[in-house]
């Protein structure tokens, strides 16, 4: 029975083969018919051209030259007819334009493309289903099944190759070239993969080693065949090559075999990519081998040497085939950064950092780090298109210094920095002498090579040159910071301060050497290098100050460094130094935000304390720096330094106020009436100062700064003084005597400054600005007068709930309204200020309302009479003044 079933299956296969051959024969016949028709058309065209040439040779010469008979007839009598130009070659009629082939419709797409793809998938699935059927029915033994699968795979691959070779002798109508052969070859490759894996995993016919080699061999052959069959087969081969080790499992894994296997697999991929210019294949190969780094390292966690060798070999191959070989003939002036290749090399650097942090690396760690860094550096320095690889090399060196395993207290061996066994977090590195040697040699070597590359090719584009300049300047600084953290845990260290000073001197010498080196022709790339090294010198000085100083001294030192940088930028005209001033300013600002009190909660005595030096010195330094930088142009950096100077000065006054009012604790949590008044005074004073400076020299920093301070003062006065800290609502006692008390600082002083601000703004700002300041001044002024009257009658406690209002107190409020109104009226008449006169009218109306509503009901006897008499006299006097002084002279319509 089994024999009959097998015979039927073979007969079906034979029948299918006959049908397929018949279809192929039909296609070949159609192709031949089409070729014969094409040849017939060519023969007809050639015969027509021969007949036309014979006819032209038999015509008269006049007709051959194309001289029209009408022109000869129109020739004037007595003139010779124009002679035709002699010609020895008869004119050839222009060739007919070839018709543009129509675009393929949906029907042709389905018939020519999709059918081929679906057919290839169907072939692969058919082979798999046939094998599955034979397994389910038990028709064939395992060896026969695997053998038939291999034969089917070879048949598909052979058919694909045969059709590829026959493509030049015949064409398949309606089907793009190379699609059918590539699909057949890909289907055969998939069948071969499945057969080999089944022989290993399902039946145990071959061992892990043989399966490993066979799968890799099929994948490599597929990639080689892709040079003839197209990119689909290359992608399939690469995927199979990278995934084959995952299909093979064993109780005794061998990482070295995997390392060697990946080398021999990736080389054909790089070769095919180079031969066919498939850059995606090279990038995919580099990504695939990079993903195998972690499995290789975890196969035996006690031995990471295979992972180290794997990374070094693969990084070298990636640098060769992604950077060195493709761009070896590109001139420097035409070089552009290859982001894809640079990204792949940076990924290798990141993997190197991770492996360098392993505690199982032992004494091979510095060798591995140096080898990886030098491979990346060679690619970055040799090829300008891969200049970011030099930055990847520097990043690898710095990262290795950061993740270097730490030394244990017992001294048994290194311990991972991220998985420590002790309770306290430690950072001191293991093998300290090796660590210091690597830190002292590798980063400077990378920086020096990048700097030499920058000077060797002065025609580099700025985006390319910026990578070399950045590596040469930032690399050693970052390495110094990494070593400083690992050895001192950010504590003071004079040794590291001395190293930073030496590094700063080296950068200064390099800057001078660059200036002499390009004295004749200062290219843009070299100017960039000069700016980078000069900025790096300042950065090293700043780091040295950080290593040696702390708290307030560090802040002052940074501020003075910024001033010195501004002076140097103005003297030697290095644009990068201007930006360095701004960068130092932001560092100082960040430092003060981190610790606003400079030295904690006890900055020292009143006024002359660390707050004065910590904020005053930066304010003065950045103000002078803005003046120096402003001599060569008022750019964004100048505006930044001006803004920083204003901010530091404002915080100086702010913290000095809090220090004085809170017993030396500038960060105290409470808030008081006097503090609100003084802060409002500060804001108004800065608004006045910046407004006057903007009038003298227009500057957006002054303009916006004055507006910000003014808004802050308005909000603080409206919310803080009139509502939150108003003693009528808080029931807090007023400190001081009857006349000289805290109300002067809280209300009177801000009122005076708000009036001055309105006076300064009257011609420099819109009318609304001055109007708002004037209204604030009048509100604060009356609040002071009213609270002072209550202080006289009620004592230090002014709250509503402490007592009522005596008749003398109520009458005093009416008198105050009248006096203020009269004073404003007089000011408005003398200065011809309409706003003052309108404000006086408001006060007088309030006085009238108070007298007729409040005093009439609350005052009695003499007080009531005096209130009405005084009001009447005042109103009559005001009427007389208006008739005498204002009827004949028109007033202003604005604040003047």
CA 788 to CA 794: how far, in whole Å? 10
The pLDDT assigned to 501 comes to: 92
The pLDDT assigned to 712 comes to: 93
Give Cα 412 to chain centroid, integer Å. 44
Least confident of 488-497, 614-623, 797-806, 822-831: 797-806
For residues 710 and 768, the answer to whether their CB atoms sit within 8 Å is no
The pLDDT assigned to 173 comes to: 43
Least confident of 165-179, 583-597, 692-706: 165-179
pLDDT(110) > 70: no
Q: Which of 264-268, 318-322, 738-742 has the highest mean pLDDT?
A: 318-322
Give Cα 186 to chain centroid, integer Å. 42
pLDDT(731) > 90: no
For residue 563, which of 536, 541, 585 has the smallest C-alpha distance? 585
CB atoms closer than 10 angstroms to residue 759: 17
CA 255 to CA 483: how far, in whole Å? 34
Give Cα 836 to chain centroid, integer Å. 55
> 474 to each of 171, 333, 529, 561, how far by Cα in Å?
62, 24, 12, 18
Give Cα 37 to chain centroid, integer Å. 63
Contacts with 358 (C-beta within 8 Å, 6 or more apart), sequence order? 297, 304, 405, 416
For residue 320, which of 288, 274, 258, 253 has the smallest C-alpha distance? 274
Residues 234-253, mean pLDDT to the nearest whole number = 71
> 610 to each of 595, 652, 655, 682, 846, how far by Cα in Å?
12, 10, 11, 20, 50
CA 625 to CA 687: how far, in whole Å? 22
Look at the chain and count its residues.
896
Q: Residue 449: how many CA atoms within 13 Å on its side-chain side? A: 24
Q: What angle do CA 391, 396, 398 make, to 5 degrees?
A: 95
The DSSP bridge partners found for residue 741 are: 736
Contacts with 528 (C-beta within 8 Å, 6 or more apart), sequence order? 462, 465, 466, 469, 576
For residues 270 and 262, the answer to whether their CB atoms sit within 8 Å is no
Least confident of 55-69, 146-160, 546-560: 55-69
Phi-psi label, residue 726: left if phi above 0, alpha if psi -120 to 50, beta otherwise: beta
Residue showing tokens 């005596």: 806
For residues 716 and 680, the answer to whether their CB atoms sit within 8 Å is yes
Q: Residue 876: how many CA atoms within 13 Å on its side-chain side? A: 6
The pLDDT assigned to 691 comes to: 92
Q: What is the pLDDT of residues 55-108, one digit of tens each?
A: 666 655 444 444 444 443 444 444 444 444 443 334 444 444 444 444 444 434
Residues 233-244, mean pLDDT to the nearest whole number = 74
pTM here is: 0.64
For residues 541 and 568, the answer to whether their CB atoms sit within 8 Å is no
DSSP code per residue over 154-212: HHHHHHHHHHHHHTTT---TTS-TTHHHHHHHHHHHHHHHHHHHHHHHTS--S-HHHHH
Angle subtended by helix axes 255-276 and 279-291, to nearest 10: 170
Beta strands, E only, 183-327: none
The pLDDT assigned to 490 comes to: 81
> What are the φ and ψ backbone dihedral angles of 406, each rounded to 5 degrees?
-100, 160
Q: What is the pLDDT of residues 334-385, one digit of tens each?
A: 899 999 999 999 999 999 999 998 888 778 899 999 999 999 999 999 999 9
Q: What is the pLDDT of residues 383-442, one digit of tens each?
A: 999 999 999 999 999 999 999 988 776 556 677 777 666 655 677 888 889 999 999 999
For residue 405, which of 368, 362, 374 has the smallest C-alpha distance? 362
CA 864 to CA 646: how far, in whole Å? 54
For residues 384 and 330, the answer to whether their CB atoms sit within 8 Å is yes
DSSP-derived letter for residue 801 is: T
pLDDT(141) > 90: no
Containing H/E element for 658?
A: helix 636-661
Q: What is the pLDDT of residues 444-486, one digit of tens each?
A: 999 999 999 988 887 888 889 989 999 999 999 999 999 999 9
CA 191 to CA 205: how far, in whole Å? 17
Q: What is the pLDDT of residues 172-186, one digit of tens each?
A: 444 444 455 656 666
The pLDDT assigned to 813 comes to: 79
Residue showing tokens 């991929």: 269
Residue 27: pLDDT band by 50, 70, 90 thresholds?
very low
Both tokens of 345, joined, read 């090399």
Both tokens of 604, joined, read 């020292």
CA 193 to CA 187: how far, in whole Å? 10
CA 209 to CA 318: how far, in whole Å? 27
CA 201 to CA 391: how far, in whole Å? 46
CA 257 to CA 294: how far, in whole Å? 15
The pLDDT assigned to 193 comes to: 62
CA 305 to CA 360: how far, in whole Å? 9
For residues 389 and 323, the answer to whether their CB atoms sit within 8 Å is yes
The pLDDT assigned to 563 comes to: 85
CA 290 to CA 303: how far, in whole Å? 18
DSSP-derived letter for residue 798 is: -
CA 679 to CA 668: how far, in whole Å? 15
Query: Is 790 in a helix, a strand, or coil?
Result: helix
For residues 339 and 328, the answer to whether their CB atoms sit within 8 Å is no
- Cα dihedral across residues 382, 386, 387, 389: positive or negative: negative
């Amino acid at each position: 029975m089994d024999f009959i079933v097998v015979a039927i299956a073979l007969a079906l296969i034979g029948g299918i083969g006959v049908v397929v051959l018949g279809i192929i024969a039909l296609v070949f016949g159609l192709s031949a018919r089409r070729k014969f028709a094409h040849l017939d058309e060519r023969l007809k065209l050639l015969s027509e051209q021969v007949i036309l040439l014979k006819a032209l040779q038999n015509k008269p010469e006049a007709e051959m030259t194309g001289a029209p008979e009408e022109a000869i007839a129109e020739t004037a009598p007595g003139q010779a007819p124009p002679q035709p130009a002699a010609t020895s070659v008869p004119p050839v009629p222009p060739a007919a334009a070839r018709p543009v082939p129509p675009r393929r419709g949906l029907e042709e797409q389905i018939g020519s493309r999709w059918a081929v793809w679906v057919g290839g998938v169907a072939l692969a699935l058919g082979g798999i289903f046939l094998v599955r059927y034979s397994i389910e029915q038990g028709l064939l033994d395992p060896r026969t099944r695997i053998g038939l699968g291999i034969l089917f795979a070879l048949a598909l691959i052979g058919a694909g190759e045969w059709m590829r070779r026959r493509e030049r002798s015949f064409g398949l109508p309606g089907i793009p070239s190379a699609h059918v052969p590539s699909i057949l070859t890909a289907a055969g490759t998939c069948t071969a993969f499945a057969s080999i894996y089944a022989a290993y995993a399902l039946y145990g016919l071959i061992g892990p080693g043989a399966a490993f080699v066979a799968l890799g061999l099929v994948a490599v052959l597929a990639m080689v065949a892709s040079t003839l069959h197209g990119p689909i087969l290359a992608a399939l081969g690469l995927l199979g090559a990278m995934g084959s080790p995952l299909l093979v499992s064993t109780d005794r894994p061998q990482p070295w075999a995997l390392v060697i296997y990946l080398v021999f697999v990736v080389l054909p991929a790089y070769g095919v990519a180079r031969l066919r210019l498939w850059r995606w294949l090279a990038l995919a190969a580099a990504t695939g081998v990079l993903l195998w780094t972690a499995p290789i390292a975890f196969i035996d966690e006690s031995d990471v040497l295979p992972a180290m060798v794997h990374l070094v070999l693969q990084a070298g191959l990636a640098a060769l085939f992604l950077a060195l070989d493709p761009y070896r003939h590109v001139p420097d002036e035409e070089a552009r950064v290859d982001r894809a290749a640079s990204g792949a090399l940076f990924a290798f650097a990141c993997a190197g950092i991770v492996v360098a942090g392993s505690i199982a690396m032992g004494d091979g760690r510095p060798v591995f780090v140096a080898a990886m860094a030098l491979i990346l550096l060679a690619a970055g320095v040799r090829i300008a298109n891969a200049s970011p690889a030099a930055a990847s090399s520097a990043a690898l060196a710095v990262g290795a210094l950061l993740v270097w395993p730490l030394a244990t207290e017992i001294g048994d061996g290194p311990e991972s920095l991220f998985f420590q066994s002790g309770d306290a977090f430690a950072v001191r590195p293991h093998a300290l002498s090796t660590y210091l040697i690597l830190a002292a040699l590798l980063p400077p070597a990378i920086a020096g090579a990048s700097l030499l590359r920058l000077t060797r090719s002065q025609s580099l584009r700025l985006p390319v040159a910026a990578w070399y300049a950045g590596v040469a300047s930032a690399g050693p600084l970052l390495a110094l910071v990494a070593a400083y953290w690992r050895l001192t845990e950010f504590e003071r260290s004079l040794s590291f301060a001395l190293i930073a000073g030496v590094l700063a001197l080296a950068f200064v010498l390099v800057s001078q050497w660059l200036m002499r080196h390009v004295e004749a022709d200062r290219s843009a790339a070299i100017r960039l290098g000069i700016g980078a090294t000069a900025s790096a010198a300042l950065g090293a000085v700043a780091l040295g100050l950080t290593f040696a100083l702390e708290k307030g001294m560090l802040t002052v030192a940074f501020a003075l460094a910024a001033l010195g940088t501004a002076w140097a930028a103005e003297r030697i005209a290095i644009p990068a130094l201007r930006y360095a001033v701004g960068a130092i300013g932001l560092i100082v600002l960040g430092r003060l935000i981190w610790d606003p009190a400079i030295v904690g909660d006890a900055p020292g005595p009143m006024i002359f304390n660390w707050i004065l030096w910590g904020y005053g010195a930066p304010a003065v330094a950045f103000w002078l720096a803005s003046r120096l930088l402003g001599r060569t142009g008022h750019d964004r950096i100048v505006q930044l330094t001006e803004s920083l100077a204003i901010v530091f000065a404002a915080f100086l006054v702010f913290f000095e106020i809090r220090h004085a009012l809170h017993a030396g604790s500038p960060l105290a949590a409470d808030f008081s009436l006097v503090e609100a008044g003084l802060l409002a005074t500060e804001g108004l004073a800065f608004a006045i100062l910046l407004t006057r400076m903007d009038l003298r020299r227009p500057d957006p920093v002054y303009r916006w700064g004055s507006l910000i301070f003014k808004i802050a003062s308005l909000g603080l006065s409206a919310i803080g003084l009139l509502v939150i800290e108003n003693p009528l609502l808080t029931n807090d006692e007023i400190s001081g005597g009857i006349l000289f008390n805290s109300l002067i600082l809280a209300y009177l002083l801000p009122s005076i400054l708000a009036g001055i601000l309105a006076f300064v703004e009257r011609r420099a700002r819109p009318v609304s600005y001055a109007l708002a300041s004037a209204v604030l001044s009048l509100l604060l002024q009356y609040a002071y007068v009213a609270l002072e009257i209550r202080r006289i009658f009620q004592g230090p406690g002014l709250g509503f709930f402490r007592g009522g209002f005596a008749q003398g107190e109520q009458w005093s409020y009416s008198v105050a309204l009248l006096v203020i109104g009269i004073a404003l009226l007089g000011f408005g008449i003398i200065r011809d200020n309409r706003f003052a006169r309108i404000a006086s009218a408001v006060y007088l109306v309030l006085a009238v309302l108070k007298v007729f509503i409040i005093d009439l009901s609350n005052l009695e006897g003499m007080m009531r009479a005096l209130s009405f008499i005084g009001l009447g006299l005042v109103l009559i006097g005001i009427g007389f003044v208006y008739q005498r002084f204002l009827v004949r002279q028109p007033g202003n319509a604005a604040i003047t």
